[in-house]
Structure 1
Amino acid sequence: MEIWEAAYIAGIIDGEGSISLTKMHEHEHRRPCISIASTDKELLIYIQSLSGGTINNKKNYNPDKHKDSFTLNIKNKGAVISLLGFISPYLRVDKKRERALWILKKYEEVTPRNGKYNLESLEKKLSFEEAFFRI
């Protein structure tokens, strides 16, 4: 990814995106996720070509008054971590920059590769999540 592309995507996320932790399945722990909503599907396809993810259509309950809307969701851990590494220097919204940096700094540290937690590691994971949502 070129520097200008990282800066551009950071601007899109600052304006229309979110950086969060989400559960994919009920009994899993949260994992990093980046979402971007837009009525411009071409923009989302471009970002998807650089970062991965899936584009979903949002239900339009009143097509006479509203444009169709789409959401790009990036949930693959490697793709999210990689993208955050590229864009974090260019994020301008404090909350989003702090969340990106928190994930980059702590997520791997509190997440065992095999997904199995002992009491101590589970405590660290939950503490990480609580601190994240206080940002």
Structure 2
Amino acid sequence: MQNKVLYAWCAGIIDGEGSIFLEKAKIRKQHRPSVTVANTDYRIILKLKEVLGGGILLTKRRDRPNHLPCWTWYSKGRSVASVLEKVTPFLVSKKEKAEVILPFAKTVGKKPIDDDYRSRLVGKFNKIIL
């Protein structure tokens, strides 16, 4: 029960402050599933990492010294499948994106994968306007 409450909390943060997207590789014509949340409150970012895994980045803009540092929690590649399996049932505004990216994320790192299958998923994702 406790895990479901934490997953629901994470879903709320992702829905409100986060992004679920396919990141296009610069060198190869491949896409990588990604989930990110940026916030100036490190406690929120740290809790996401504790519950869902992933990594943390710190960004401090030198051109705006009065701005607070911005922390970003992220999950990329094959770890996105695990994250989305936990939070998708609780998502509201980003649920459709998560449901399209989840099957795609499950194919990351597996060979052989049908390129047409991946292309269809990318096309389906690109049609979602949110």
In structure 1, what residue type is equivalent to 2:99?
L
Report the Cα offset of residue 39 of structure 1. Answer: 0.2
Moved >4 Å (runs of 4+): 108-112
Could you tell me how far apart the structure 2 residues matched to 1:108 and 1:82 are?
9
Report the Cα offset of residue 107 of structure 1. Answer: 1.6
In structure 1, what residue type is equivalent to 2:98?
A
Report the Cα offset of residue 24 of structure 1. Answer: 5.2
Match of 1:130 in 2: 123
In structure 2, what residue type is equivalent to 1:62?
R
User: Cα distance 1:110–1:49, how it changes in 2: closer, same or farther (>3 A)?
Assistant: closer
Unaligned runs of 5+ in 1: none
Q: Is contact 2:81-2:105 (8 Å) kept?
A: no
Q: Which TM-score applies when normalising by structure 1? A: 0.81
Match of 1:87 in 2: 87
Q: Give me the identity figure in percent.
A: 30
CA deviation profile, 1:41-87 (whole Å, cap 9, x unmatched): 121111112222221112322122x211111111141x311111111
Q: Is contact 1:48-1:72 (8 Å) kept?
A: yes
Unaligned runs of 5+ in 2: none
CA RMSD, aligned part only? 2.2
Match of 1:97 in 2: 95
Q: Is contact 1:88-1:100 (8 Å) kept?
A: yes
Could you tell me how far apart the structure 2 residues matched to 1:111 and 1:48 are?
21
Q: Is contact 2:55-2:73 (8 Å) kept?
A: yes
User: Cα distance 1:32–1:44, how it changes in 2: closer, same or farther (>3 A)?
Assistant: same
Number of corresponding residues = 126
Which has the larger helix fraction? 1
SS at match of 1:2: helix
Could you tell me how far apart the structure 1 residues matched to 2:60 and 2:26 are?
23
Could you tell me how far apart the structure 1 residues matched to 2:35 and 2:81 are?
10
Match of 2:104 in 1: 107
Report the Cα offset of residue 13 of structure 1. Answer: 0.4
Match of 1:27 in 2: 28
Report the Cα offset of residue 103 of structure 1. Answer: 2.1
Could you tell me how far apart the structure 2 residues matched to 1:128 and 1:107 are?
7
Q: Which TM-score applies when normalising by structure 2? A: 0.83
